[in-house]
Each structure stands twice: as structure tokens, then as C-alpha cells.
Structure 1
Amino acid sequence: MAQVLERIEQYADEISAAGVEGDKLMRLPDTVAQRLRESGAIRMLQPKQYGGLEVHPREFAETTMAIGAMDGAAGWVTGIVGVHPWELAFFDPAAQDEVWGADPDTWMASPYAPMGIATPVDGGYQLSGRWSFSSGTDHCQWVMIGAAVGDKHGKRLLPPQMLHVLLPRSDYDIDQDSWDVVGLRGTGSKDLIVKGAFVPTHRTIDASKVFEGTAPKEAGRTETLYRFPFSCIFPLGITSSLIGIAEGALACHLAAQKSRITVAGTAIKDDPYVLFAIGEAAAEIAASRAAILETVDRFWDMSEKGQDITFELRAIGRRTQTAAAWRVVRAVDEIFARSGGGALQMKTPLQRFWRDAHAGLAHAIHVPGSIFHASALTQLGGEPQGIYRSMI
């Protein structure tokens, strides 16, 4: 991690400044994508045999936070695109060779939501559908997306069966007009369209095996990194970027408030009420960082020892992660509300951090209802069913 951070921190000012361009382009500027590529940030969870770094997930999270504090969109793309190499490690070696064989810096976009239908055909599936929110997709050469298995008529099977499938850039279209939003504009999270693409079986994986943790066993992956639970590592990249965004907002706020005088002629340094609010917000952000990193460290130690990370522990981990996301965004609101009218100027990075934070909180991985329900019910001796087990 130290090497990745050292590489990327050399360009911190450049990445921060490029956030303005990213907002206009509605995707990461090419220079920022190149800096991420050169630093190795997207290869942190990639197998060593394919040029990856196989770092501790804590290191991935801390790097994502640092990049998010430079620019929210860059952190978001790092946190999402950076997780896909972890899952590709479970695919058929032929698929891994196709993606990484010629270039270990090949990126994959997503999303995982089963928005399309995969109809079985000889040797694989025929895939059609439209997927939204493909973050960083303009800079990716492949996509790893979710698909519901259909019958011969293209209707979803019941009970539902879900695959994660790989497609090269030549097999899908990007709707360039589908991303015009208020926050995280620079992520370029556009829609993907697939029309009858053939997906060979070796480029598919049963999504339930990834969620349940049997995929790494079947793939022969014995490394601690790949025995780590999906329900911790997938949300980790997203929430880490959100915490980084909050840390970036706090840094901008503090820099502006050091010499600020209110209209009443009071220096912010002399206003005890504002100082209390700033201190409380800073404490909430720090607590959120510490909380998710503690979960990562504990799950890593258990994985390394071969111990079972139970549903209850995973549910509590998701509760911690989700609560951390909400806590940091509330803290950003407290900061922004005390930044004065100057923070509304589009030329200030604080307003972009504020917009990006709220956009990031809208991700499905941060919806608290079912997660809080499942964690509480499990601790009370109950057994969550159906949707209450989703993504845990």
C-alpha cells in the first residue's frame, strides 16, 4: 500500500484540480484514469499471478479513502472498479487469461444487479438487457455484470438464478447520454446496452457461490484475501470512498475557516458553537473510518485462521459499514451548514464534496432497513429470510 499511496499522492493536487473537468465531462478525465492505472490502485486486490498486489483489504480501503479525499469521483471509481479483480480470481482460468493475459492493467466495469436475461444456448448463454450505473465504464475494456437466467423464451426462471458474466468492450454499447446527475458526476456511471451477445460458459459464474463463499474453494483459491467474505469486501470499496469524500470535505472546510470572519465580525476561531460542531463532525468521520477498518481487520484475522465468519457476524459488519456511511454524510452536512455562503460557489471544491457525499449515500449498499433488521433479528436468535439475507 505504501508504494501505491506514494505514487498517487505525488499527483494529489492534479487529481483534486481535475475534479472540475470531471464534473463537466461526466467521467474521469483521461489524466486521472492514467494516474490510477500507473499507481496500481486498481490491481490491489488482483492475483499476483496476473500482476496484482494481493494486499490486505485494509490497505485497499485506506488507499481508496485517500483518493476519495482528493476527488470523490476518483475515489468512487477506485473503490468499485478495484473490487472486480478480486472476483475475477474465482472465474475459469481461461476467462482470467482473456482479461489479463495481454495487459494486467485491464479494467472491468459493472454493475452486479441482474438487469438483463441470460438465455441458455449451446456452449453458454445469449445475453440481452440494459444496465444502469456502470461507474468508470469509459475507461474499462471489459464488464462484469449481473444477469438473471432465463428460459428458452427469455423469461426469468423461478426460483431466480443469478449469474455474474464477463463481456469484452466489443459486446456492449455505452449510452453516453444516460449520466447527467447532481453528484459523483465524474464517475461516468452510464448505462450499458447488450443485444444478444454470446457469453461462453467459462465467462460466467454462479453469483450465489460468490455471495456464500464457496466460489473461492471451487476455484482452488487458498489465499486469505480470496477467503474473505464478499459481503464485506464489495461494500468496503464503496463506503471507503464515501469516508474519503467526507475527509476531503473536512479538510476543505478547515482550510477555509482558519481565517474566516463572520458578518458579525467574529472570527470562527472565537465562536465556541461552531468549534463544537466542527469537532463533533470530525469525531464522527474519524469514528466511521475506525469502525469499518476494525471490521476488516477482525474478518481478515478470522479468515487467516480458517474460522467461520457467521451470518450474524457478517450482518453486524454490514450494519457497521452502513451506519458509517450515514454518519459521515450527516457530518458533512454539519460542516457545510457552517461554511458560510462562500461554500455555495461552484469554484470551491467543498460544494462538490457535499454533492458527491449525498450521491454516494444513495447507493443500494447503503440502504439500512433490511441490514439493521437482519442484524438485530439474528442477535435476538431469529433467522432472517428472503430479502433480509440479501448482500449479507
Structure 2
Amino acid sequence: MGQVLDSLVKYADEIRADGAEGDALMRLTDRSAGRLRDAGVIRMLQPKEFGGLEAHPREFAETAMALGAMDGATGWVSGIVGVHPWEMAFFDPKAQQEVWGENPDTWIASPYAPMGVATPVDGGYILNGRWSFSSGTDHCDWVMIGAAVGDKDGKRLSPPKSLHVLVPRSDYRIDHESWNVVGLRGTGSKDLIVENAFLPEYRTLAAERVMGGVAWQDAGRDETLYKFPFSCIFPLGITSSLIGIAEGALNCYIESQRERVTVSGTAIKQDPYVLSALGKAAAEIAASRAAILETVDRFWDLTERGKEVTFEMRAVGRRTQTAAAWRAVGAVDEIFGRAGGGALQLSNPLQRFWRDAHAGLSHAIHVPGSIFHAATLTQLGEEPQGMMRSMI
């Protein structure tokens, strides 16, 4: 285990217990957020000059997995909020100083979808809009959000142009009534509202430069971590936490079924059909974990050697990542379907893992259609265009 995860394992029981409270509060408990902050989870991909660890992405993924296995929402927040310092490394040093200068443990929320419009003015933009699904936002002091560039009348440009922009807590408000969902409730992924906020130019990045994997050049970065492909690092925390949730469901099932006897009087340990299904589910979850980590290790080795991670490699990597998510959640369904009526009790954490797994699978990063299409086209010697290149 890495140093961050080592410092969290001793609090595993507390994190599990706080998961139920966070589910009711519809945000992480202050204690859980404090544990993540004290351990440095959100600083794992942060630049060293601002107190970051610049950890290997594999260590970041394994930490999100382990936390997801303790509590789905805690793993999810660590994986999503934890990736923002990686992109923050590409912003103007003045912006980095504003965010981290006084406190390197300052957290940044998202999302990246261009749900609002940035209208150009002297020195920057005027930003307006409403953004949904800002995970962990109650514990963050800044947001890094997507914005469509508008014309002088505030209408989106055509063809579209997108920015990733930084906004301080003083310039947006959280709609606390916007998050009441069936799964990942503890993530507190609420809506944000920005009204006529001035956005200086230095707090913006061209979205296509970040997603195209070349923002490190603009920022003068030379560390392997920041040359790592966006299309691998951005989904990494999300899918890793989801695989951790599946592992948590498996662990929960095993612990609760050791002495269970069915209505027919058969001990679960003597039911060959259940044991076979459970073995297959465990293998599917393990395969999902291995696939994700293999891609990370391979891409890291290529990047470190100065080799190109080609579009085809990235597309296949996204296919692997997306398939891993679906495989893991399918295994959770096999587990939950054999857990008996007791698993339906809200006091049983298995039902929360099941709900969280399905909520996590609904994230846009796990939609397989265009990703599978693009990966196959590249392997057939074609060059995907338009939406087929999105997020690859």
C-alpha cells in the first residue's frame, strides 16, 4: 500500500460507519472529509511545489478502490475531486497561487461539462450558468467547470468553443435542494449556480488543449505525471472507485453469508450453485481491477520513456476502462441477487453498495457506445471523427 492509503486503513471502520450517515445527509460527513484531507488523498496528483505528492496514477487508483470498498461515496469523492489538482497544474501560476498559496489542502470541485456560457469582456469573461453533479462540493472552496464561449450577446459560438475555468466559492452558490437521488447519495453532487461573475483570463484553459493531452506543453511541465493522457487520468478515479464499490459489495456479502441458511435448510457454504455464481462474480471484479491497473502501468511506462500514447491506444484504453465498469457492476448484481431478503434492509450496507454501483455506472464516462465504436474503427485502420473522438 502507498503512504496515503496506509494512513487511512486504520480508520476503515469509521469510514464505513460514516457512510450510512453520509447517505442520510446526502454529502460526506465532516469527519470523512477530514480523514481524506488529513491523509492527503486529494493532494496525490498535486504538484510538489504546492505540497502535492505527484504520486503514480496506479497508487491514486488503488487508493480510490480501497476507499470505495469502505464506502462508495467516500471513494467517489476521492476519485473525482482528487483528479482536479492534476489539471490545476496546467493553469497560470497566479491561479495556482490563489487556490493553494495559503492552504495546499484546498479542494476544487467540478464538473467539466460546458453547462454555462462565458461571454468575452476586457480582461476575461462574464460567466453565467447552472452546473449539475458537483461531487463533494460542500467541502470545496473552488470549482473547475466547463464553459462554452459565447458571443457579445451571450449566445454560444458555432462551431462551439469550450473552456475549463476556475471560480472561487464567493462567486457561485450551491443549490442544496438539487441532490436527492437513489445512489451515491453521500457524494453530495449538487447543482452550482453562477450569475454574472467576472472570470479573469488567467483562470481559464482551452478545453481542447487539456483533453488533447498537450496542455503540459503550454504550461511548461516536464513531469511524467502531467504528460500522462487525459483520457486515462480523468476516468481513472471514477472507474477505480466504482470497482472498489464492487469489491465492497463482495466483502459485505462474504461477511454476511458465512452462517446463513436458506429456507430449505441448506447452508450457503453447501450450495454449489451460489458458490459457483459467487466465484464467477469475484473473478469478474478481479478482472476489472487488473484491466484498469494494467492500462495505467502501460501508459505510464510509455509516457516515461517519451513514447507516444497513440489515439488508437487511448481509444482501446477507454474501451477497457468502460468495459471494466460494466463488468464489475454486473458482478454486483449477481452478488445482490443471491444475498436473500435481508440485503434489502436499509441497515444492511450491501444494499448501499448495490445502489452506489448502479449510480456510478450512469456517469457519462461509462457510456460505451461511441467509445467501443471508436476503438474498433481505429483497429480497422480508420480515423474516427466528430463525437467519436470525444473524451479520447
TM-score normalised to the size of structure 1? 1.00
Post-superposition Cα deviations, 1:217-250, rounded to whole Å, max 9, x if no partner, equal: 1101100000000000000010000000000000
Alignment of 1:84-95 (within 5 A): 84-95=84-95
Whichever residue aligns with residue 139 of structure 2, its letter is: H
**Secondary structure of 1:18 counterpart:** helix
- Alignment gaps of 5+ in structure 2: none
Corresponding residue for residue 8 of structure 2: 8
Corresponding residue number in structure 2 for 1:327: 327
What is the SS of the residue equivalent to 1:260?
A: coil
Structure 1 residue 197, shift from structure 2 partner: 0.3
Aligned residue in 1 for 2:241: 241
Q: Secondary structure at the match of 2:114?
A: coil
What is the deviation of 1:391? Answer: 0.1
Q: Distance in 2 between matches of 1:228 and 1:286?
A: 25
What is aligned with 2:312?
Answer: 312
RMSD of aligned Cα (Å): 0.5
Measure how far apart 1:36 and its partner are. Answer: 0.3
1:299 corresponding residue in structure 2: 299
Distance 1:103 1:214 in 2: 28
Matched, 1:189 2:189: yes
C-alpha separation between the residues in 2 aligned to 1:58 and 1:134? 24
Q: Does 1:289 align with 2:262?
A: no
- AA aligned to 1:93 is P
Give, in whole Å, the separation in 1 of the partners of 2:373 and 2:196.
39
1:172-230: per-residue Cα shift (whole Å, max 9, x none)?
00000000000000000000000010010000000100011111011011000000000
Partners of 2:65 and 2:214 in 1: how far apart? 29
Q: Please, which moves more after superposition, 4-13 or 239-248? A: 4-13
Name the CA distance, whole Å, in 2 between partners of 1:51 and 1:312: 35
Q: d(CA) in 2 for partners of 1:18 and 1:381?
A: 50
| Per-residue deviation, 1:112 | 0.1
Structure 1 residue 10, shift from structure 2 partner:
1.3
What is the rounded CA distance, in whole Å, between the counterparts of 2:3 and 2:310 in structure 1?
A: 34
User: What are the superposed Cα offsets for residues 89-111 of structure 1, whole Å, 9 maximum, x if unpaired?
Assistant: 00000000000000000000000
Q: Return the alpha-carbon distance in structure 2 between the equivalents of residues 132 and 213 of structure 1.
A: 25
SS of 1:236 mapped into structure 2: helix
What's the secondary structure of 1:388's corresponding residue?
helix
Q: Deviations over 1:325-356 (max 9, x none)?
A: 00000000000000000000000100000000
The residue aligned with 1:97 is 97
**2:256 aligned partner, one-letter code:** A
Residue 383 of structure 1 and its aligned partner are, at CA, apart by 1.1
**Equivalent residue, structure 1, for 2:106:** 106
CA–CA separation in structure 1 for the residues paired with 2:377 and 2:204: 34
Deviation at 1:6, TM superposition (A): 1.2
Q: Which residue of 1 aligns with 2:155?
A: 155
Cα offset for 1:46?
Answer: 0.2
Cα distance in 1 for partners of 2:12, 2:203 equals 37
1:221 aligns with 2:221: yes
In structure 1, the gaps of 5 or more residues are none
Amino acid at match of 2:229: P
Aligned residue for 2:336? 336
Query: What one-letter code is carried by the residue in structure 2 that aligns with 1:22?
Result: G
TM-score by length of 2: 1.00
Could you tell me how far 1:257 is from its partner in structure 2? 1.1
Q: Which amino acid aligns with 1:357?
A: A
User: Deviation above 3 Å: which 4+ runs of structure 1?
Assistant: none
CA distance in 2, matches of 1:35, 1:238: 19
SS of the aligned residue for 1:148 comes to strand
Distance 1:82 1:95 in 2: 18
- Partner amino acid, structure 1, of 2:27: R
Query: Which letter maps to 1:90?
Result: F
2:212 aligned with 1:201: no
Q: Which amino acid aligns with 2:188?
A: G
CA distance in structure 1 between the partners assigned to 2:165 and 2:386 by the alignment? 24
Question: What is the alpha-carbon distance in structure 1 between the residues aligned to residue 174 and residue 122 of structure 2?
Answer: 27
The answer on 1:387 being equivalent to 2:390 is no
Distance in 1 (alpha carbons) for counterparts of 2:239 and 2:51 = 26
**1:137 aligned onto 2:144:** no
